[in-house]
Amino acid sequence: MTLTEPGQYWAEQLLAWAIPDEILAQAEVMPWSHDPKTFAVDETLDATSPIFELARELLPLEGGSVMDVGCGGGRSSLPLAPRATRIVGVDENPAMLARFGQAADEAGVEFTEIQGRFPDVIIQAELAGRPIAPCDVVVCHHVFFNVADLEPFVVALTAMARLGVVVVMPKKHPQSAWNEGWKHFWNIDRPNGPTSDDAIKVIEGLGLEPEVFEVERPPMSRHAEDPASLVVSARRRLCLPASRDAEIEEWLRDHPPAFMSDVVVLRWPGGLS
């Protein structure tokens, strides 16, 4: 599809986050990688958060279905049970899907795992004559900043939702928390955009009218304040070697990363509304 002006702006802004090849080559661990434990269901999960209530409101009182795009370990969708009795988890990472399946099984929720990149897996299933049926609600938490082609992504989210779509995202790129570190260790100025406001413009440019809510980020997503516990994360995000751990820890004591305390929830009607 031909991108609108907001869609083109979003794509260009995201591409500016690319890490120079010469720096990426020095990374001991890829800076974009995530530990599956981070997205696992555990005792810190607060099912009463407004993030979940905004999705729960859309579900039928009984027998609801949810598609969780970028499901990780299920933190974004399993709190919607028992209103949601069936959950479809979509994720590229098999380790994430394994945690999702285990958590769903333990919760007694019917589930389906789909490995692959959204919306490619939906298109491939359609072409193969095995179309994936829409669900009542589609949830998508902390994925938008990984998607350069946001317009077709939003179109696909909407098409897979009978009743509504609920997206959760930070106001700014999540890696912007490390911008000061990039300047200090590499003398590189990182981008300031895109932002959640730019995502809203993309959605509106498609003729959709999202409701917008700002809510407190759930406690389970808060980052530790102890500099020592942040060293490994900082080393990974900044493409630094373990030999510089002492320097990283010293720098963190006076320059803690600017993690965001709030998130934005976007909610709009599904394709059949």
Let me know if residue 124 belongs to a domain.
Answer: yes
The whole-number pLDDT of residue 32 equals: 77
In a domain, 232, yes or no: no
pLDDT in tens, 165-180: 999 999 999 999 999 9
Q: What percent of the chain has pLDDT over 90?
A: 78
Rounded Cα distance, 237 and 23, in Å: 11
Which strands form 135-141's sheet, in the order they lie side by side?
110-115, 84-91, 64-69, 135-141, 161-169, 262-269, 211-216
* The total number of residues written for the chain in this structure: 273
Q: Give the pair of three-digit tokens for residue 211.
A: 């409701």
Overall average pLDDT of the 191-212 stretch: 96
Nearest to 164 by CA among 25, 59, 264, 240: 59
Q: What is the DSSP string of 119-181?
A: THHHHHHHHTT-PPPPEEEEEEES-GGG-S-HHHHHHHHHHTEEEEEEEEE-SB-GGGGGHHH
What is the pLDDT averaged over residues 207-232?
A: 77
Domain that holds residue 59: 5-20+35-173+189-224+259-269
Angle at 140 between CA 37 and CA 118, to 5 degrees: 95
Number of compact structural domains in the chain = 1
Range 20-39 average pLDDT:
79
Cα–Cα dist 129/63, whole Å: 26
Q: In this structure, is residue 59 part of a structural domain?
A: yes
User: Is residue 73 situated within a structural domain?
Assistant: yes
Lowest mean pLDDT among 32-46, 93-107, 118-132, 134-148: 32-46
85 found inside a domain:
yes
User: pLDDT at position 29, please?
Assistant: 84
User: Residue 259 — pLDDT band, cuts 50, 70, 90?
Assistant: confident
Cβ contact 254:232 at 8 Å: no
The band of 220, judged by pLDDT with boundaries at 50, 70 and 90, is very low
Q: Would the pLDDT of 70 be above 80?
A: yes
Tokens standing for residue 264: 């934005």
In this prediction, residue 179 carries a pLDDT of 96
Rounded Cα distance between 67 and 87, Å, is 6
pLDDT of residue 273 exceeding 70: no
pLDDT band at 157 (very low <50, low <70, confident <90, very high): very high
Q: Percentage of the chain with pLDDT > 70?
A: 90
Q: For residue range 32-60, what is the model confidence (pLDDT) as tens digits?
A: 766 656 555 656 567 888 999 999 999 99
Q: Is residue 151 part of a domain?
A: yes
Q: What is the mean pLDDT of the chain?
A: 90
Of 216, 113, 210, 195, nearest to 158 by C-alpha is: 210
Give the CATH number of the domain where residue 127 resides.
3.40.50.150
pLDDT for res 38: 59
Half-sphere exposure for 103 (CA within 13 Å, toward CB): 29
Once rounded to an integer, what is the mean pLDDT over residues 238-255?
Answer: 93
CB of 213 within 8 A of CB of 264? yes
pLDDT band at residue 217 using 50, 70 and 90 as cut-offs: confident
Q: What is the pLDDT of residue 31?
A: 83
Residue 27 lies in a domain: no
Q: How far apart are CA 99 and CA 108, in angstroms?
A: 14
Question: Does the structure show a pLDDT above 50 at 249?
Answer: yes
- Residue 196 is assigned to a structural domain of this protein: yes
